Amino acid sequence: MARGPIRIDETIVIPTRHLAWSYAISSGSGGMHRDHNKTKVRLHWDMSADDSVSEDVKARIRQRYRSHVNVRGQLVLMHEKRRLVSRNEQIVRQRLCDIVKACLHPDPPREKAAPRPAVGQQRAKGKKRRSQVKASRRGVDLLEW
């Protein structure tokens, strides 16, 4: 089963004491192997208790991956596609590394795009068309009917 800390990069290592692994029988195909072996892997990383990652990174993880963070502040990752428990563990470990690496740096500020000139021209044409429709309605004399 999964043992040892998870190394994110040269400076960040998530210690084993903040990781909780659980195993269950996976759903889907696999025949008798699936019915008799617990191949689904679930990893709970207690972010709130872990000091190896800064609070800024934790906040970005909570924001970007909010569907994977439970009410206790744990990031929960699960995988069950492979038949081997060890392969599912590798995939979950790699996914945790990818998530933390993706959240190490803040998103660059978004630059507001300038409106295209054609948008203003289309708006002016629409207003002109609408004013012509209204002007044509004013020209009808109801007494002539």
Beta partners for residue 46, in sequence order? 74
Counting residues of the chain whose pLDDT is more than 70, the rounded percentage is 87
Whether 112 has a pLDDT exceeding 90, the answer reads no
Distance CA 58, CA 64 (A): 10
Burial code of 43-71, b = ≥16 C-beta within 10 A, e = fewer?
A: bbbebeebebbeeebbebbbeeeeebbee
Q: In this predicted model, what pLDDT tens digit does every residue of 62-96 receive, in sequence order?
A: 998 889 888 888 889 988 777 677 788 888 889 99
Most confident of 6-10, 25-29, 30-34, 61-65: 61-65
Helix (H) or strand (E) holding 87: helix 85-102
Q: What does the domain layout of the chain look like in residue ranges?
A: 6-102
Q: What does CATH list as the number for 6-102?
A: 3.30.160.20
pTM, 2 dp: 0.66
